[in-house]
Every structure is written in structure tokens, then in C-alpha cells.
Structure 1
């Protein structure tokens, strides 16, 4: 390996480990353990000649990674659910939960490292012999804690080859990074102040207030997570790396199927390729297809968090995907082309309903919110701090109009910055930084840090 490249990768690896350890150095050991296991498992899967041997080493990777994820993320959830269940029959066992916290980013880097061993097992990728490059791939700091989930076939070859400055990538990276900051700090955090107020105590607010807060949450979580993805992708481009697109204007979707092709794309494609297809996909009949869709989305919901709220959220999407497939297979159920526009409304309505379970603190809060919305009272919503809400709505309008422009022009944000000269990028940067300083209100953690 070129000495300069090796030095670059060592610097990236050390920087990534420092970045993660800054949160809690004790959990850095989990990334190192996963990296060692999968580097070894990948090599053994490739070199073992028998299918049985390959499968055994794949199981080592699956059990080790999913085992760590289950202990830290799901053990307490299942322990509490078991205790609640048996308590209903009169048995009250001692507290079975553990005093553990969820390591930040564990869901993301677990899926990322699993894709490496699974691709090798499927014969779609050859293992690397460069342990530094592999460890850097797992721990690469721009997307370590909240994605995008980068597959080895895309990112690892970039880490293993010499990198050089690319003016076009630099321009794209600067613009996307700044737009990501604007989406997060100005739009998402401003909307979050109102959403947190309402969902902090749903019981005291009327139906229109809850509906408004849910509507604003749909855009808060979009601009929060898309903003993080923009920052990660833009930062990587500044260093000579190109990540895959993670969001593509998901609310401009005419179906839930299309929504999942545009929302958190790195996760949705991961679930499709490694879970849905592994279950059989649509190859075993329509009933099995419905089952596979539902299981994939239920597990996708569980991936987001150890809560029945997330499982129901996934179930809503699984049911909607199954219904869409049923309609698609029956010509009599299809809407005429003149009513095609209704797809945008119905899709957003289903997504909005599911976000209630995603945002609510527990099932009781979610069902209370839905009950109040169903029994709509047509009274005016509670606004609270009018200046804060006004500023948030103004910034949301700017963000939406920009997204509408991208949608109309069919321009991907990842390539948006390449259209401008250095002077124009300086002007754009100045405008965005000025807006961030003028309308900055509060700073909250990225929503997906908790997953």
C-alpha cells in the first residue's frame, strides 16, 4: 500500500475512534470487537471451500453482531414485556432488567458490518486484506452514529485507493453541508420546540393543536435526519469520499412503496436486500409476499427502537405496502389516471398517522392523540410563542419551496453544488450562515442519535 494512503487511513481511523470515544470511551470496545469478528469472519467465509463452513462463519458474524445489539438495545424491552405479561397471570418475578445504556450508533454500524459478511457469503464481494482500511470502513466518523448505512462495496474501495482533491466534489460538499446545517438548526429545531411542547402533554391540548404538532413533526424528523445525512455526505465529499444518496424528497411520493424508495434509502434498501429477499421476497406467492413485507417492516420498526410504538409504526407501513401490492395486482381496484394526484395525499396521510406512534412517548399517548384527532373539534390550535412558531413556519416554507424546486427540476441535492462557481458558492454560504444566525433558537441532538 502507498505510504501516504496508509497514513491517511490511520489518521482517519484514529480520528473516528476519538470522535466516538468523546461520547463514551467504554463503548469504543464494541466497535473494535465487531470489526475484529467481521474482518476474520469475512476472510474465513471467502477461503472455506464448503458451503457448510461458509454458513458457520456467517452465523458467527450474525450471532456476535445481533447478540451485542440485542443485549444493549432490546434486552430490557423484552424483559419488561415478559414481566408485564406474566404479571397479568398473577406471577410477579423480580426485576429482570439490566442497568445499561444504548451505545450511540450501534444500530447503524451493526447493519453496516453485517452487509460486509453477507455480501461475501453471497459471492457478491471479496474480503479486504487491509485491516486498517476495514476498521476505518466500520468506524468512519461522518456516518458512524446515524448513517447513511454504507455498504462495503461502495465505501471500502474508496478507502483502499489513493484520494485526490476534486473541485466538483468540494463544491457539492460545501453546499450540501451548509444546507444540512440549515435544515437541522433552523428548520428542524425550530419546529421541534412546538412539537415537544404539545407531545410533552397531549392530554391538555385540543385536536387541532395535536394535528398541527403531528404535521410539524413530519417535517421536523425529515429535516432533522435529512439534514444529518446532508452533513455526513457533504463532510465525506470534502475528504474525497462519495456516499450514496439517503433522501430524495420522500414527501413527494404517490405511494408508500415510492416513499420507502426515497426515505432513509440506505436502510430501506438494506432491509430489502438482506431481510425481505432473504425471507423469499415475492418469489413464493402473494400470501408469502404479504408476510415478508409485514415481517420486514415490523423488524424495521423494531430496529428503530425497543418500543411497541416503533413496532406498530412498522406494522402500519407493512400493512400499507401489502394493500398497495394487492391494488396493483387487481386492475379493478386501480384509480383512473385523472385521480392519480390523490396518491400524494393518501401517502402523506398514512405517513402522518404512523408518525404519531413514532413521536409519542408511549402507546397511551399515541392512542390519546389519535382519539382526539378522530373526534375533531374544529377549535383553533394553541400557538404559544407566536414569534417562535411564525419563524418556524417561515423557515419551513423556505425549505419546502427549495425541495419543490429540486422536485420540479429533477435535481438531486448531492449534485446541486456542482452547478455553481466559487463566487456563487461563497454568496450561498453567506446567506445560509446568516439565516442560521438570525433564526437559530435552540440546539437539540439529532433525532436518530437515539437509534
Structure 2
């Protein structure tokens, strides 16, 4: 991961906790902004895909709850719509499948597409099973799907658990802050001094 993206993660997490001291009302838009910035640095042309998944969840979610008699149909429709980009980029982007005169393999696989696709699907499934009793706002869904610390490597997390962690008022003190900075520094050193040097050997 380029250093600028590593720095962005550190700044975003730091800002998240600092805002808990007095600017909690801007915490959500700030985290969304950091998440969008992180994704744009890595895969700008595909930024529309997590937004598309968020919009599908925002549209289909309330109908799963209110349309009890056809909730399964809405769930199936939502799952199919969310999965379309993943299916296209991972399985249909070859000319011998689509019968195109040229291959689409040069298309870059969107960053974290498997993780945020299945995470969006899990949100609709939780609504269908009653594990979520209400739908979340579009802004919360965007953050849930696009949240930058986990979009690369997961894990896939339930919306209930994610919301509780985001809203949790964790106490911050000097010891914890210093420990966090130390871990960031060690991680950056390992990346630059070890991982980057050995990458050409193991690639």
C-alpha cells in the first residue's frame, strides 16, 4: 500500500477519535469523506460501485420490512442487483463468455469488491431474518459499505455490530494515544523496510 494511503488511514482514525471530544456531529460525514478519499486514491474509476450497492440497500431494505408477503422477492432482487458488478468484473469480463470481439480483462478489478458486495448482501439478509428491525439512513449505509479500515481485507461485519462500534464512546488518554502511534510507526517501518524490499523476491 502506498505511504499516502497508509497516512490517510492513520489521519482518519485519529480524526474519528478526536471528534468524539467535541465534534461528534461531524464524525459521520468526516468518516465518509476519508473513506471516499481512500477509495479514490486506489480505484477512482470504480467508486460508483459501492455507492450503487448502498443505493440498492437503501431502496430495497424498507420494502423487505414493509412488504411481508413478497419480502423474499425483494430480497432476491436486491441480492441479484448487488451481485451484478461482482459477477461482471470477476466472471464475465472475458470475450469468450460475452462473445465480444475483444477481451475486457484489462479492466481493473474494483478495490474490495468481494468484501463490500457480500457485506451489502448480509445487510439485506439481516433485514429479511428480523435481525435488523429498522433500516439505516443512506449515509450510514455508505459508511458501512465503504468504511476504509476494512474495505481491503475485511472482515465482513454485520450492520448491528458495526453501528455499535462507530457510536461507542471510547475513552482516550495519553497512554492509549501513544500506544496507537507506536503501532502505526512500527507498521510503517515494517512496510517500508521489509515488505517493500522483499516484494520483488516473492512476487
Partner of residue 13 from structure 1, selected from 20, 32, 49: 32
Please say if 1:64 is aligned against 2:81: yes
Unaligned runs of 5+ in 2: 1-21
Matched pairs, number: 180
Contact 1:75-1:97 within 8 A present in 2 as well: no
The answer for the alignment partner of 1:130 in structure 2 is: 137
- Measured after TM superposition, the shift of residue 117 of structure 1 is 1.2
TM-score, reference length from structure 1: 0.36
The answer for the alignment partner of 2:9 in structure 1 is: none
Measure the CA separation in 2 of the matches of 1:35 and 1:75.
Answer: 23
The answer for the alignment partner of 2:93 in structure 1 is: 76
- Measured after TM superposition, the shift of residue 171 of structure 1 is 5.4
Measure the CA separation in 2 of the matches of 1:180 and 1:65.
Answer: 34
Contact 1:128-1:134 within 8 A present in 2 as well: no
Measure the CA separation in 1 of the matches of 2:118 and 2:168.
Answer: 26
1:249-328 alignment to 2 at 5 Å?
none
Partner of residue 45 from structure 2, selected from 26, 40, 60: 26
Unaligned runs of 5+ in 1: 84-92, 197-451
1:18-167 alignment to 2 at 5 Å?
18-50=37-69, 53-77=70-94, 79-80=95-96, 95=101, 97-98=103-104, 100-159=107-166, 161=167, 163-167=169-173
Measure the CA separation in 2 of the matches of 1:155 and 1:115.
Answer: 12
- Measured after TM superposition, the shift of residue 193 of structure 1 is 2.7
Classify 1:151/1:129 alpha carbon distance in 2 versus 1 (closer, same or farther; 3 Å): closer
Contact 2:119-2:145 within 8 A present in 1 as well: yes
Higher relative contact order (CA 8 A, sep 6+): 2
- Measured after TM superposition, the shift of residue 68 of structure 1 is 0.9
Query: Can you list the C-alpha shifts for 1:68-116, whole angstroms capped at 9, x where unaligned?
Result: 1111222125x44x59xxxxxxxxx763533632222212211222221
1:342-357 alignment to 2 at 5 Å?
none
Measure the CA separation in 1 of the matches of 2:154 and 2:35.
Answer: 14
> Of the two, which has the highest radius of gyration?
1
1:346-385 alignment to 2 at 5 Å?
none
Measure the CA separation in 2 of the matches of 1:35 and 1:195.
Answer: 37
Measure the CA separation in 2 of the matches of 1:172 and 1:129.
Answer: 34
